C-alpha cells in the first residue's frame, strides 16, 4: 500500500514538473518543407534586442470568409511565434465594425487620419451577395510611436485569389519585423538624389520621396558643390541623367562606393518617350550612353553594361490610339511599355506585383577584377525581341498583328543587383596631383571597397511619377492612367532601398515561401466515388477482417 502511494505521488510530481516546464519553455519542431513556422535569424535577433513592450493592434476580428480566416489565423500564429522569442510582444485582435453607428464612424475617421483606408470585400452567400468594409491592418506601437502595416497588400477586388492571399501570408513575418525595426530607429538614414546632370526633378520623384520621408532623410546632392560624398548618405540615387558626368564627380562616387556607399543607377540608354512619337510621324532616339553620359567605363568596372537597344515584349501595358475613321481612341498593346517579370527567388522581388518599364534597355553582367555576386532582379517574358540603335520608331507597328515568331529572344535582363567588394575605377588611373588633393581634404584613397551593394536598372522612368511643374501637381508612381491600374514600381524601389540599407538582414524574411497546394477540383469530381470507397469502405473492411482474425485466434487458443 505504501509503495503504491509513493508511486502515485511520484507520477503526480513528475506531471507537475513537466507542466511548469511547458509553461516556461516553448519549443516545437517545424516539419514543413518550406519551414513556414521557423522565424528567420535576423528577425530573432531583432526581437531579442527589444527593451520595451511592442503592442500590436490587429484590426482583423469579426466574421470573414474562409480565406480571410486563414489570414487571421496566420497573423495570430506569427505573433505567437514572435512572443515565443521575446516576452515584450503583446497583441490584440479588434473589430473596427463593432459598436454603435456613431462609434464605428468615429473610428473610421480616426483610422483614415492615420493612413488606414478600408477595403471593399465582396461576400457571396447562398442567397445573397454583400459588400463589407474591412481593415486588414496591424498597427505596431513601440515607445510612444506607431506604424500601420497593411497585412493584405494588394487592393482587394472581391474575394482575393488564393495566390495573392498566400503571398500575403508569406510576407507577414517581414512586414511586422520591418515595422518594429523602423520604430526602433532613432536616427533616420539619409538618401540623396544626385543633381547637376539633368536628372529627374524634385517634383518628378515627389511620390517616392514623400513615401520614404517618414523613415528616411531625403535630399538632393549636387556633386560639383561638395568635396566628397559623405559616408553618412546610406543610398545615392542616380535617376535618369541626361548630361555627362565629369571625371571629378565620378571620382567622388567611386570613393563613396569604396567606403561602403550604396548606389542605385536608374539609367536610360536612349532618349525616347511617348510624346516624342506623337510629335512626329517617326522618331530616331538619341543615345545617352556610348560616352554621352560618361558612365560606361565606371559601370563596366563595377560589372554592368546598359545596352543601346530597346526591348519589346508581348507582355506589355496599353496606350490609347485612334484606329478607325470615327476617331474614337481605344487601348492597344504597346510593345515598348514592358511588364517586367520579377525574380521570385530574391527578397527584393519576392511576391512583388507587376512592374511597368517604359522604353527599357537591357543590362548585361560583366566579369570583374574582384568577386562580385550578380543577380538579375527583373527580366522580360520569354516572348521578347530587341531593336538596336540606330532605329526608327513610329506607330506603324500597331497596324499589324504581332508575329510571335519574331518575339523569340527569350527572357532579357532589365535590372541587375551587384554585391561584394568592388575594385576602384580610378585604381592606377588617379594622378599624383589628384591623390594629393584628396589627401589634403582629409580623405584616404581606397582601391578596394568594404562589402557593399549597388543596383543597376536599365530604365530611368521606373522612379518617375507623372508631374506638372506649372501647377506643382504630381500623380502616383507606377499608376497607368489609361488602364487605371497601379503597378508595383514604388514597391520595387522601396524594397531595393531597404535591401541596400538593411545590414541586419530583416528583409531576408521576404524570401520565406508558403507553398500553395490547391485541390484539383476537376480531378476530385472525376475520382469522387473511388476516394469515397477508399475512405469509407476500407476502414469498415479492415475492421471486419480484424474482428474475424481476433475471434479466430481467440477460439483457436482456448479450444487447444
Name the more confident of 324 and 104.
Answer: 104
Whether residue 513 has pLDDT greater than 60: no
CATH number of this structure's domain 28-183, picked from the four choices 3.40.30, 3.40.50, 3.30.450, 1.10.1060? 3.40.30
Min mean pLDDT across 220-224, 253-257, 406-410 is at: 406-410
CA–CA dist 347, 72 (Å, integer): 24
- The mean per-residue pLDDT over the stretch 365-389 comes to 92
Query: Would you say residue 88 has pLDDT above 70?
Result: yes
Percent of the chain with pLDDT over 90: 33
Report the Cα 386 to chain-centroid distance in Å.
28
Decide the pairing of beta strands 190-195 and 217-222.
parallel
CA distance 215 to 263: 19
User: For the chain, what are the domain ranges?
Assistant: 28-183, 188-486
127 pLDDT tier (thresholds 50, 70, 90): low
Give the start-end residues of each E strand in 343-460. 355-358, 363-365, 372-379, 384-388, 413-420, 452-457
**Which residues are CB-neighbours of 155 under 8 A, at least 6 positions away?**
119, 486
pLDDT at 279 over 70: no
Q: Which of 101, 114, 110, 97 is nearest to 61 (CA)?
A: 97
**pLDDT of 90 over the 50 cut:** yes
**Residue 35 clears pLDDT 80, i.e. is over it:** no
Q: Which of 127-141, 327-341, 508-522, 540-554 has the lowest mean pLDDT?
A: 508-522
- What integer pLDDT is reported at residue 156 of this predicted model? 37
Q: What angle do CA 253, 255, 261 make, to 5 degrees?
A: 70
**Residue 91, Cβ neighbours under 10 Å: how many?**
19
Average pLDDT over residues 173-193: 88
The answer on pLDDT for 419 being more than 90 is yes
Q: 108-144 in b/e burial notation, b at 16+ Cβ within 10 A? A: beebeeeebebbebebeeeeeeeeeebbbbbbbbbee
Lowest pLDDT segment from 211-220, 291-300, 533-542:
533-542
Q: Which of 301, 308, 491 is nearest to 388 (CA)?
A: 308
Residue 157 in this model has a pLDDT that exceeds 60: no
Of residues 115 and 35, the one with the higher pLDDT is 115
Residue 123 predicted with pLDDT over 70: no
Overall size of the chain counted in residues: 560
Q: How confident is the model at residue 327 (pLDDT cuts 50, 70, 90)?
A: low
What is the arithmetic mean of pLDDT over 145-168? 67
**Do 284 and 392 touch, CB atoms closer than 8 A?**
yes
Helices and strands in the chain: count of H runs, count of E runs: 15, 26
3-class SS of residue 346 = coil
Q: What's the confidence (pLDDT) of residue 17? A: 73
- Mean pLDDT of the region 267-295: 79
Please check the confidence at residue 298 and state whether its pLDDT lies above 90.
yes
Closest-CA residue to 398 (of 339, 444, 492, 331): 331
Looking at the predicted structure, is the pLDDT value of residue 158 above 50?
no
In sequence order, what are the beta bridge partners of 122? 131
Whether 457 contacts 186, CB under 8 Å:
no
Place of cell 546632370: 197
Segment 182-207 shows an average pLDDT of 91
Residues 6+ apart with CB under 8 A from 475: 207, 465, 466, 467, 481
Is the distance from CB of 253 to CB of 297 less than 8 angstroms?
Answer: no
**DSSP result, 14-51:** HHHHHHHHHHH-------STT-TT---HHHHHHHHT--
SS in 3 state form for 185-216? CCCCCEEEEEECCCCCCCHHHHHHHHHHCCCC
> What does the pLDDT read at residue 116?
81
Model confidence at 516, pLDDT cuts 50, 70, 90, reads very low
Determine the distance from the C-alpha atom of residue 451 to the mean position of all C-alpha atoms in its chain, rounded to a whole number. 23
In this prediction, residue 4 carries a pLDDT of 66
**Terminal alpha carbon distance of the chain:** 39
Q: What is the mean pLDDT of the chain?
A: 83
User: What is the per-residue pLDDT for 121?
Assistant: 66
What the block records as the C-alpha cell of 423 is 575594385
Neighbours of 347 (CB within 10 A): 21
Provide mean pLDDT across the span 321-346.
82
Return the C-alpha cell found at 115: 493612413
pLDDT tier for residue 177 given thresholds of 50, 70 and 90: confident
Three-state DSSP class for residue 400: coil
Asked if 527 and 248 touch (Cβ cutoff 8 Å), the reply is: no
The answer to whether residues 165 and 156 touch, using CB atoms and an 8 Å cutoff, is no
Q: Which long-range contacts (CB under 8 A, 24 or more apart) does 116-120 make?
A: 116/59, 116/148, 119/152, 119/155, 119/156, 120/156
The pLDDT of 373-388, averaged and rounded, is: 93
What is the mean predicted confidence (pLDDT) over 529-551?
82
Q: What is the mean pLDDT of residues 458-473?
A: 91
Peptide bond just before 246 cis, omega within 30 deg: no
| Most confident of the following: 92-96, 360-364, 428-432 | 360-364
Amino acid at each position: 500500500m505504501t509503495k503504491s502511494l509513493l508511486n502515485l505521488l511520484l507520477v503526480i510530481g513528475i506531471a507537475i514538473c513537466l507542466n511548469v516546464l511547458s509553461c516556461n519553455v516553448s519549443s516545437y519542431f517545424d516539419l514543413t518543407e518550406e519551414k513556414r513556422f521557423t522565424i528567420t535569424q535576423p528577425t530573432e535577433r531583432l526581437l531579442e534586442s527589444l527593451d520595451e513592450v511592442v503592442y500590436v493592434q490587429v484590426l482583423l476580428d469579426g466574421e470573414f470568409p474562409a480565406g480571410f480566416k486563414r489570414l487571421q489565423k496566420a497573423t495570430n500564429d506569427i505573433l505567437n511565434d514572435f512572443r515565443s522569442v521575446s516576452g515584450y510582444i503583446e497583441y490584440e485582435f479588434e473589430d473596427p465594425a463593432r459598436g454603435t453607428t456613431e462609434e464605428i464612424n468615429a473610428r473610421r475617421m480616426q483610422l483614415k487620419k492615420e493612413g488606414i483606408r478600408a477595403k471593399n470585400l465582396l461576400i457571396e452567400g447562398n442567397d445573397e451577395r454583400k459588400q463589407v468594409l474591412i481593415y486588414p491592418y496591424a498597427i505596431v506601437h513601440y515607445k510612444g510611436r506607431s506604424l500601420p502595416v497593411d497585412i493584405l497588400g494588394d487592393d482587394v477586388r472581391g474575394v482575393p485569389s488564393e495566390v495573392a492571399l498566400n503571398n500575403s501570408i508569406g510576407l507577414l513575418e517581414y512586414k511586422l519585423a520591418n515595422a518594429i525595426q523602423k520604430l526602433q530607429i532613432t536616427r533616420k538614414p539619409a538618401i540623396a538624389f544626385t543633381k547637376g546632370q539633368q536628372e529627374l526633378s524634385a517634383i518628378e520623384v515627389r511620390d517616392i520621396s514623400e513615401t520614404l520621408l517618414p523613415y528616411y532623410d531625403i535630399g538632393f546632392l549636387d556633386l560639383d558643390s561638395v568635396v566628397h560624398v559623405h559616408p553618412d548618405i546610406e543610398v545615392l540615387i542616380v535617376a535618369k541623367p541626361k548630361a555627362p558626368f565629369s571625371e571629378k564627380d565620378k571620382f567622388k562616387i567611386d570613393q563613396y562606393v569604396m567606403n561602403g556607399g550604396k548606389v542605385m543607377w536608374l539609367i536610360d540608354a536612349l532618349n525616347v518617350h511617348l510624346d516624342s512619337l506623337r510629335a512626329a510621324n517617326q522618331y530616331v532616339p538619341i543615345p545617352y550612353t556610348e560616352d554621352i553620359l560618361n558612365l560606361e567605363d565606371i559601370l563596366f568596372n563595377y560589372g554592368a553594361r546598359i545596352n543601346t537597344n530597346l526591348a519589346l515584349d508581348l507582355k506589355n501595358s496599353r496606350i490609347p490610339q485612334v484606329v478607325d475613321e470615327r476617331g474614337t481612341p481605344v487601348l492597344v498593346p504597346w510593345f515598348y511599355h514592358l511588364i517586367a517579370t520579377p525574380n521570385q527567388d530574391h527578397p527584393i522581388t519576392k511576391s512583388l506585383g507587376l512592374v511597368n518599364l517604359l522604353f527599357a534597355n537591357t543590362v548585361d553582367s560583366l566579369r570583374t577584377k574582384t568577386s562580385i555576386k550578380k543577380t538579375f532582379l527583373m527580366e522580360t517574358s520569354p516572348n521578347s525581341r530587341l531593336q538596336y540603335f540606330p532605329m526608327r520608331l513610329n506607330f506603324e507597328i500597331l497596324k499589324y498583328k504581332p508575329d510571335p515568331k519574331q518575339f523569340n529572344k527569350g527572357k532579357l535582363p532589365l535590372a541587375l543587383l551587384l554585391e561584394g567588394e568592388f575594385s576602384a575605377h580610378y585604381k592606377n588611373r588617379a594622378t599624383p596631383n589628384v591623390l594629393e588633393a584628396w589627401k589634403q581634404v582629409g580623405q584616404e584613397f581606397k582601391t578596394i571597397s568594404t562589402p557593399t551593394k549597388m543596383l543597376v536598372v536599365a530604365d530611368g522612368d521606373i522612379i518617375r511619377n507623372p508631374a506638372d511643374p506649372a501647377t506643382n501637381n504630381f500623380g502616383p508612381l507606377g499608376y497607368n492612367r489609361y488602364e487605371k491600374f497601379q503597378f508595383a514600381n514604388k514597391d520595387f524601389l522601396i524594397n531595393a532601398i531597404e535591401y541596400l540599407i538593411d545590414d541586419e538582414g530583416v528583409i531576408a524574411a521576404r524570401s520565406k515561401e508558403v507553398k500553395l497546394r490547391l485541390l484539383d477540383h476537376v480531378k476530385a469530381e472525376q475520382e469522387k466515388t473511388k476516394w469515397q470507397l477508399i475512405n469509407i469502405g476500407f476502414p469498415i473492411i479492415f475492421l471486419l477482417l480484424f474482428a474475424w482474425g481476433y475471434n479466430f485466434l481467440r477460439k483457436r487458443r482456448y479450444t487447444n
